[in-house]
């Protein structure tokens, strides 16, 4: 089994709050803009670009970190079901990996949390990001089993469900976060779940 990161394992609200504070706008303003671009099917980073046109997001993120204004990933960012659900899956003999669109630095922070998983990898480390098919080829290699034996779990139909299914993986759509709720009825995944706890019934069965 492979899991996405943002709004699957970790909550994004502290990160967006840090961006709003850095950009000097009310947190609700940036949150509303994120919701607006998500509803349009756009990259949620476009919300930051709307507040500050022409911004170099990578450079600005580095400046935030250098100034100590970013929110480092911590245990508080994990959804409550993450540790118990993943622990139960591994105890049941399931190989669990984490693979999402994140930076290489984020991968190191995830590893520092010592999650009950077998491996962690990110698009920043692989040099390829979802929804590219090559990303899911890397997922399959890391899983070490044929594609049709890998269940990919994520909240984003366009980035997670559709390309994973096209690559031959099984899919589970997680109703979590803005995207997970907004497009829950149109995800067309093999399974739809409301919690990571639901995965045990799917995989053990």
Residues spanned by the domain of 189: 2-10+74-204
Residue 87 has pLDDT above 80, yes or no: yes
- Is there a single domain that holds both residue 194 and residue 106? yes
Judge if 161 and 196 occupy the same domain: yes
Average confidence (pLDDT) over 12-38: 92
Does residue 116 share a domain with residue 45?
no
Residue 205 pLDDT > 70: no
From 66, 86, 102, the end of a domain falls on 66
**Is residue 195 located within the same domain as residue 104?**
yes
Among candidate residues 66, 83, 109, the one where a domain is terminated: 66
Among 176, 146, 144, CA closest to 160: 176
The pLDDT mean for the chain works out to 92
**Which residues lie below 8 Å from residue 108, measured CB to CB, with a gap of 6+?**
none
pLDDT tens-digit series, residues 88-146: 999 999 999 999 999 888 899 999 999 999 999 999 999 999 999 999 999 999 999 99
Mean pLDDT of 70-87: 91
- Note whether 78 and 129 are same-domain residues: yes
Task: Go through 166-193 and write b for each residue having 16 or more CB atoms within 10 A of its CB, e for each that does not.
Answer: ebebbbbbbbbbbbbebbbeebebbbbb
Which of 49, 66, 83 is where one domain is finished? 66
Cβ neighbours for 30, distance < 8 A, ≥ 6 positions apart: 16, 19, 20, 23, 47, 48, 51
Q: Are residues 125 and 196 in the same domain?
A: yes
Q: Is the pLDDT of residue 12 over 80?
A: yes
| Whether residue 95 is found in the same domain as residue 57 | no
Mean pLDDT of 5-18: 92
* Residue 47 neighbours by CB under 8 Å, 6+ apart: 30, 33, 34, 36, 37
Q: Is the pLDDT of residue 55 over 80?
A: yes
**CATH number of the domain enclosing 108:** 3.40.50.1000
Six token digits for residue 97: 């990996």
Distance CA 154, CA 159 (A): 8
Do 90 and 160 fall into the same domain?
yes
pTM of the model: 0.89
Number of domains observed in the structure of the chain: 2
Distance from C-alpha of 171 to C-alpha of 169, rounded to nearest angstrom: 6
Residue 91 shares a structural domain with residue 147: yes
Whether 49 and 94 share a structural domain: no
Span 14-26, mean pLDDT? 94
pLDDT in tens, 169-192: 999 999 998 888 887 777 789 999
Are residues 92 and 139 both part of a single domain?
yes
53 and 81 fall within a common domain: no
Tally the residues of the chain: 205
């Amino acid at each position: 089994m492979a899991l996405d990161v943002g709004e699957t394992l970790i909550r994004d609200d502290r990160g967006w709050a840090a961006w709003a504070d850095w950009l000097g706008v009310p947190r609700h303003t940036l949150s509303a803009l994120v919701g607006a671009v998500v509803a349009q099917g756009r990259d949620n980073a476009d919300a930051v670009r709307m507040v500050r046109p022409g911004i170099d997001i990578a450079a600005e993120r580095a400046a935030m970190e250098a100034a100590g204004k970013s929110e480092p990933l911590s245990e508080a960012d994990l959804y409550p079901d993450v540790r118990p659900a993943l622990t139960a899956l591994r105890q049941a003999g399931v190989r669990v990996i984490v693979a999402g669109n994140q930076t290489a630095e984020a991968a190191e922070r995830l590893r520092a949390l010592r999650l009950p998983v077998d491996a962690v990898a990110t698009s920043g480390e692989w040099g390829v990001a979802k929804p590219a098919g090559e990303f899911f080829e890397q997922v399959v290699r890391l899983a070490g089993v044929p594609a049709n034996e890998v269940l990919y779990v994520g909240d984003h139909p366009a980035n997670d469900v559709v390309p994973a299914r096209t690559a031959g993986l099984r899919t589970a759509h997680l109703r979590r976060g803005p995207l997970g709720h907004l497009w829950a009825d149109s995800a067309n995944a093999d399974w739809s779940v409301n919690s990571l706890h639901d995965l045990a019934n799917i995989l053990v069965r």
